[in-house]
Amino acid sequence: MLWLIVLLVTCLYYISRKKLQYFSSRGVRTLPPIPFLGNLAAVTFGKENFVEAIANGYNEFKNERYFGLYQYLVPTLIPRDPELIRQIIVRDFNAFSDRGVHIGTDCDPMFGRNLIMLRGSTWKSMRTVLSPAFSATRCRSMAPLMAESAEAVVQHLKEQVSGELLMDVNEITTAYVNDVIASCAFGFAVNSLKEPNNCIFQLAKTAVVQDTTQVMKFFGYENMKTVLKMLDVKIIKRKHAEQFSQLFKSALNARRENLAGPRPDFIQTLVDAAQGKLKQEMELDINSNQDKCTEKFTDDDLVAQAVLFYVAGYDTTANLINYFLYEMAANPEAQQRLQQEIDTMPGGEDVDLYEVVQELEYLEMCTSEVLRLWPLVGSADRRSVQTYDFGPTYPGSQDRLVAPPGIHVWLPLYSLHRDERYWTNPDVFDPERFTSRNKAKIVPYTYLPFGTGPRHCIGSRFAVLAAKVFLTGFFKKYSTRCTERPRRLCPRAFILRPAEGFNITVQPRN
């Protein structure tokens, strides 16, 4: 028996060694990989976040246009050169139209249906159906729903905070974002601070938070798909998928029967799409994709897109607000200037909140800077669908990678945002980088908090608006203060967040 195990381990070791020579045999630089674990040993053992694993190579190979990294045994190319990044995500999009990790409906019927996982023409059709839900017109009508949820938080703080209070602000921001998504995507009015046991908040907290197990499942699917399928491992557990499904379908049916009248939310978009009412709005929105939708989608497909708000929008938007509150706490002068700007906001029922929030210039500068320092999704992924010539490894090099279809690409967003070649004092919070004059000087493709090209974040307008509506409500009444900088990123999380949480002092303004 023992010799059989030794034989098996030896065989696996040699297979692993062979796979881990992919880059070195082609002249592509890579940090020394570890058998089986590739370059993710520290990530696996909870020592660093995977954006730090990317940063190790990014900072080491300063002269390369790209370098290699192994997600366990999967060779993954990291482009460093902004021009190469443009080619991959914009110019040659047709060669990189898929995402890296693919979890199909055969593995996870709900997760496999969402826009992030879809491929080819199915992705294109679904993107066309969903785009109007995030148009300026729709976001404008969602702004008052967001304001109601923000007001609920301020009201809660009024009852809880008389002097100053040290708190993990994630508790209030996740409640707010849950209420916004419940209201804007599912059509339910909930107040998660008052009723923390409401089923949709419980579901959000248990089903989709990007914790350690979720991250390991993702990497597992890429490296040992058959094993995970056999073990019936799902990103969204069957029980949670059923609960989400019931919730959303009941809301969808009520809307179809027009029981509660139309509401400016996501469900309405889906109902309108089915009835062909969206054409006019799509024509108004210059960002919407006006290609013809060629596929028919079932209610299960639609449920998966509503859950997408939780999968892609819940943790990200809450942490955008958290980091913002933290940066204001750490930079009191910026906070004061922001509050002065917010104090000038016109109020009243007739005000177009969407317009008013867009006009707050300093709020926009601070939001952009928070997203530079803390791009919540620190790396975006692609996978090639055609043979691709990545060009010389560095300018003038004889080595070049010509890869067959299937090569994984990770875009190093976090590293680009902190590269001193593109940003002076990159670790310093400085909103002045985003005045309209300075913005024009940013090197193209070095600032990509929402990615770019046809697969850019579909929810960016929604997320930024939700964050701004919360922040204007909050900073009108409260200030933040803190003494400690977050020391390290939470390892094994896809979303950037500090390992120690966001402990910030909140105090009412005079």
What would the x/- binding string for ligand HEM be over residues 113 to 132, using CB under 6 A?
--xx----------x-----
User: Considering only 59-67, 103-111, 337-345, 374-382, which stretch makes contact with ligand HEM by CB under 6 A?
Assistant: 374-382
Q: Does 40 bind ligand HEM (CB under 6 A)?
A: no
CB of 240 to ligand HEM, least distance (A): 18
Q: Is the dihedral of CA 328, 329, 334, 335 positive or negative?
A: positive
Using CB under 6 A, which of 241, 376, 409, 482 touches ligand HEM? 376
For ligand HEM, the closer CB: 65 or 127: 127
- At 38, which amino acid appears? G
In the complex, least distance from residue 368 CB atom to ligand HEM, rounded to whole angstroms: 12
Considering the complex, what minimum distance in angstroms separates the CB of residue 114 from ligand HEM?
Answer: 7
Is 313 a binding residue for ligand HEM by CB under 6 A? The answer is yes
Nearer to ligand HEM, 37 or 328 (CB): 328
**Quick one: 314 or 478, whose CB is closer to ligand HEM?**
314
Contact 244, 207 (CB under 8 A): yes
Residue 259 CB, nearest approach to ligand HEM (Å): 25
| Cβ-proximal residues to 401 (8 Å cutoff; 6+ apart), any chain | 26, 27, 28, 66, 77, 389, 390, 393
User: Minimum Å distance from CB 279 to ligand HEM?
Assistant: 21
Sort 364 into a burial class: Cβ within 10 Å, 0-12 / 13-18 / 19+: middle
Residue numbers 395-454 binding ligand HEM by CB under 6 A: 449-453
Cβ atoms of 393 and 81 within 8 Å: the answer is no
Under the binding rule (CB under 6 A), the answer on residue 186 touching ligand HEM is no
CB-nearest residue to ligand HEM: 451
CA nearest to 473, candidates 377, 349, 361, 345: 345
Task: Identify residues 83-102 at the interface with ligand HEM (CB under 6 A).
Answer: 89
Closer residue to ligand HEM, CB minimum distance, 319 or 335? 319
The residue with tokens 């090569």 is 407
Closest CA to 379 of 449, 462, 453: 449
Interface region with ligand HEM, contact rule CB under 6 A, candidates 24-32, 151-159, 250-258, 307-315? 307-315
Site string for ligand HEM, 456-475 (x = CB under 6 A): xxxx--xx------------
Q: What is the DSSP string of 102-163?
A: ---TTT-TTGGGSTTT--HHHHHHHHHHHGGGGSHHHHHHHHHHHHHHHHHHHHHHHHH-SS
The rounded distance, in Å, linking the Cα atoms of 271 and 302 is 10
Structure tokens that stand for 336 in this block: 């004061």
User: Does position 377 bind ligand HEM by CB under 6 A?
Assistant: yes
The minimum distance between CB 300 and ligand HEM, in angstroms, equals 17
Examine residue 380 and tell whether it contacts ligand HEM (CB under 6 A): yes
Judged by beta carbon, residue 312 or residue 506, the one nearer ligand HEM is 312
111 or 309: whose CB is closer to ligand HEM? 309
**Shortest reach from residue 70's CB to ligand HEM, in Å:** 21
Minimum distance from residue 329 beta carbon to ligand HEM (Å): 19
Cβ(85)–Cβ(411) under 8 Å?
yes
Residue 123 one-letter amino acid: W
What angle, rounded to 10 degrees, do the helices at 170-181 and 136-160 form? 140
Minimum Å distance from CB 10 to ligand HEM? 40
Determine if 312 is a binding residue for ligand HEM (CB under 6 A): yes
Residue selected from 192, 317, 384, 472 as contacting ligand HEM according to rule CB under 6 A: 317
Q: What dihedral do alpha carbons 244, 248, 249, 255 form, nearest 10°? A: 170
Which of 23, 221, 244, 309 binds ligand HEM (CB under 6 A)? It is 309
Tokens of 62: 């300063």
Residue 455 makes contact with ligand HEM by CB under 6 A:
yes
Tell me how far, at minimum, the Cβ of 494 lies from ligand HEM, in Å: 10
Q: Counting contacts by CB under 6 A, is residue 152 touching ligand HEM?
A: no
What is the size of the binding site for ligand HEM (CB under 6 A)? Answer: 26
Structure tokens at 109: 């019927």
User: b vs e for 435-444, b when ≥16 Cβ sit within 10 Å of the residue's Cβ?
Assistant: eeeeeeeeee
φ, ψ for residue 428 (rounded to 5)?
-95, 135
Q: Which residues pair with 408 in a beta bridge?
A: 76, 383
Decide: helix, strand or coil at residue 234: coil
Are 57 and 67 within 8 A, CB to CB? yes
Question: What residues contact 425, with CB distance under 8 A and at least 6 apart?
Answer: none
Which residue's CB is nearer to ligand HEM, number 193 or number 371?
A: 371
Contact between 203 and ligand HEM per CB under 6 A: no
Residues interacting with ligand HEM, by CB under 6 A? 89, 115-116, 127, 308-309, 312-313, 316-317, 320, 376-377, 380, 449-453, 455-459, 462-463
